[in-house]
Amino acid sequence: MAFDVVVVGAGHAGIEAALASARMGRATVCITLRLDRIGHLPCNCSIGGPAKGHMAREVDALGGQMAVATDHAVTHIRRVGTSKGPAIQTVRAQVCKSDYPAFMQGVLGSEPNLTLIEGQAVWIETQGGRVSGIRVVRSGVAEEEILACRAVVLTTGTFLNGLCHQGKEQTVAAREGDQAVQGLSAFLADLGVRLRRFKTGTTPRVRLSSLNLDLTEVMPSEPEAGPLSFLHDTFFPRQELLPTWQTRTGPATHDILRENLADSPMFSGQIEGVGPRYCPSVEDKVVRFADKESHPIFLEQEEWDSESIYVQGFSTSMPAEVQLAALRTIPGLESVEVIRPGYAVEYDMADPLQLHPSLMSRLLPGLFLAGQLNGTSGYEEAAGQGIVAGINAARFVRDEEPRRFPRSESFIGVMIDDLTTKGVEDPYRMLTARAEHRLLLRHDNADLRLTPVGRELGTVSEARWIRFLKKQDQVARAREWLESHHITEPMNGILESRGLAPVKNRASLWLLLTRPGVDWRTVAEMAAEAGIDGAPLGDSALDRQAAEQLQIAAVYDGYLKRQEEEADLARRMEELRIPEGLDLGGLAGLSFESREKLGRARPATVGQASRIPGVRPTDIAILIGHLRASGRRAG
């Protein structure tokens, strides 16, 4: 059998990679150990949150599936970052852990150009120094077969040499209920990929009926937060959205954890892998933040029809009996019953410094890596890498130039640049603070930034494109209306009746929109009172989205212009390409440290080179001079 692209794994990275490739018209196959685990949510039941919600929206804008599935499986949703500016604000949704994968399985199963295979990929075949196929053992079949292909996307998550820990118990597994794999790790090591061990963990699941929720703080859903996908005016829950509950650990909890640190595989030395800095285990928090008397705990319902509660904030690999004792010191959990204890998993990851910004391996043309394999953590980070790897694998098999995603364009671009330029020392998590142009990379404008890109690449559907053009037209017409109509001095009574300062001579409606506490609806009402007709926005979901963008554009106009200028400068640096064969390590005039770091990272552009830690600005100037001189000589 022959395909264009083979995707290994059907988690969040694999789903987006396979769908992107198939939607671009390539014959694609997705290999997974279990078809019933496609789209499985092995850790928490949430999609979104600070920076992560931005990335989910960006995947959606490119034609991806994560946000669409979230809106169909949502059980709880809240807006986050509301106390901060629009660069931070996004949504965090919880989804039903049976509905979400079922929806994804239906989408993949019905996608033209996409074939699903249940089985294990064991080795990648090469010919002429590039990918030529992949060796597979199908479920229930003893013999290996080779699937011919021109590109392979590995999205293996925690499966490569996975080892689970709970107290002193160790189990060879990628996660509960899933076997680990060894062959692909051996292939990558043989290829020269630098493999390291990382660690992640999950929390206990407890029984809802065993909780005393009267002792906790209820956090109701906020349906007004709106759907995650740009395609939808609303979401599609089975019933009324569910609440979440908040409680806290206390001194008694911390005492139990401290007394049993010797049984923690993290502190006993049993776990060798590096854990996530921004999502530490509860025992790690107790040690690292010894001055804190408590830590927040959130109780999240995993499914509509299940008693299973995810104890957010209590990731742990302590022995089961220690977990139970510590949980029972938390208000509301005094009689808690544990359905499944928490555990940690170690796995092999590949050094992302050995990847091009397209996520193709520098060591083997046609091999792409995405997701946790590259040292990241989180569903959204995986999906963002998956769609980029799928797009570039599809372009590679047609000998097309890779599509780069610059930092100034998306959080996805920030993440990929961080990975391929700086590498990782611990599991990478996206934060809004990582983006220097984050006011340009907002939740509300992901469609404006990336839907034209997806349309050009072939991943955006006709329905999405038509909706996008409608919103774009609404924003343009509304801004023109605001800028061309004015409130004059005789109309000041309209302003004063709302407690607003009067104008001198006249002020455009656009200028009024910049005032604190004034939104589109207020401006439209004042315009109507002043006899100004023709307000182009109504009260549909798309109109409300357009109004939100106009409000942000008006209030932050000066800041946006400044960041656009900075982003334009950064783009010009990205356009200064470094030839693939240039010996950066031997370039005359560079400091020893810069030669060493440039030679290791092998940046593709001057912009990327300038972001490598330890590379001096003076050395960047020398590099630019060398490239310009080479260009003149070539000319």
Q: What is the pLDDT of residue 634?
A: 53
Give the rounded percent of residues in the chain with a pLDDT score beyond 90. 78
- In 3-state terms, what secondary structure has residue 263? helix
93 versus 142: the higher-pLDDT residue is: 93
Q: What is the pLDDT of residue 386?
A: 98
pLDDT of residue 87: 87
| 541 domain residue, yes or no | yes
234: left (phi over 0), alpha (psi -120 to 50) or beta: beta
Q: Tell me, what CATH number does 524's domain have?
A: 1.10.10.1800
Same domain, 539 and 613: no
Q: Is residue 593 part of a domain?
A: yes
Over range 406-410, report the average pLDDT.
93
**30-34, 176-180, 482-486: segment of lowest average pLDDT:** 176-180
Does the CA dihedral 567-570-574-575 come out positive or negative? positive
**pLDDT-derived band at 571, boundaries 50, 70, 90:** confident
Q: Are residues 532 and 614 in the same domain?
A: no
**630 pLDDT more than 80:** no
Confirm whether 252 is domain-assigned: no
Band of residue 82 on the pLDDT scale cut at 50, 70, 90 = confident
Query: Within this chain, do residues 591 and 552 fall inside the same structural domain, yes or no?
Result: no
Say what the pLDDT of residue 635 is.
Answer: 52
- pLDDT value, residue 254: 97
Query: Contact, 324 vs 332, CB < 8 A?
Result: no
Separation CA 441–CA 620 (nearest Å): 27
- What's the mean per-residue pLDDT of the chain? 93
CA–CA dist 450, 295 (Å, integer): 38
Instruction: Judge whether residue 632 has pLDDT over 70.
Output: no
∠ CA 53-56-181, rounded to 5°: 115
Are 540 and 619 contained in the same domain?
no
Average pLDDT estimate for 431-448: 93
pLDDT, average across residues 191-217:
97
CA distance 454 to 210: 48
What gap in Å lies between CA 482 and CA 512, rounded to an integer?
Answer: 9
Bridge partners of residue 308, in order along the sequence: 207
Q: Which of 216, 203, 207 is nearest to 332 (CA)?
A: 216
Tell me which of 563, 585, 601 is where a domain ends: 563
Only one residue has tokens 């989205």, namely: 545
What is the phi/psi pair of residue 567, to 5°? -65, -35
**86: closest CA among 477, 600, 446?**
446
Is pLDDT at 633 greater than 60 in this prediction?
Answer: no
DSSP string of 517-570, one letter each residue: T--HHHHHHHHHHTT-------SSHHHHHHHHHHHHHHHTHHHHHHHHHHHHHH
Quickly count: other Cβ atoms within 10 Å of residue 222's Cβ. 15
Of the residues 528, 563, 598, the one at which a domain ends: 563
pLDDT of residue 580: 79
Domain count, the chain: 2
Residue 583, domain member (yes or no): yes
**pLDDT for 440:** 93
Q: Which domain holds residue 607?
A: 576-634
584 and 556 share one domain: no
Ranges 27-36, 177-186, 311-320, 600-609: which has the least confidence: 600-609
* DSSP run (H or E) holding 184: helix 183-191
* Mean predicted confidence (pLDDT) in 140-149: 93
Domain assignment present for residue 468? The answer is yes
- What CATH number corresponds to the domain at position 594? 1.10.150.570
Antiparallel, parallel or unpaired: β 90-95 and 74-80:
antiparallel
365-375 tens-digit pLDDT: 999 999 999 99
What mean pLDDT is predicted for residues 467-473? 95
My answer on whether 552 and 582 are in the same domain is no
Q: Flag whether pLDDT at 588 surpasses 80.
A: no
Say whether pLDDT at 631 is over 70: no
Q: What would the two tokens of residue 542 be? A: 């798309």
**Residue 116's pLDDT is what?**
98
- Is pLDDT at 309 greater than 70 in this prediction? yes
pTM assigned to the model: 0.93
Least reliable range by pLDDT among 3-7, 82-86, 455-459:
82-86
Model confidence at 271, in pLDDT bands (50, 70, 90)? confident
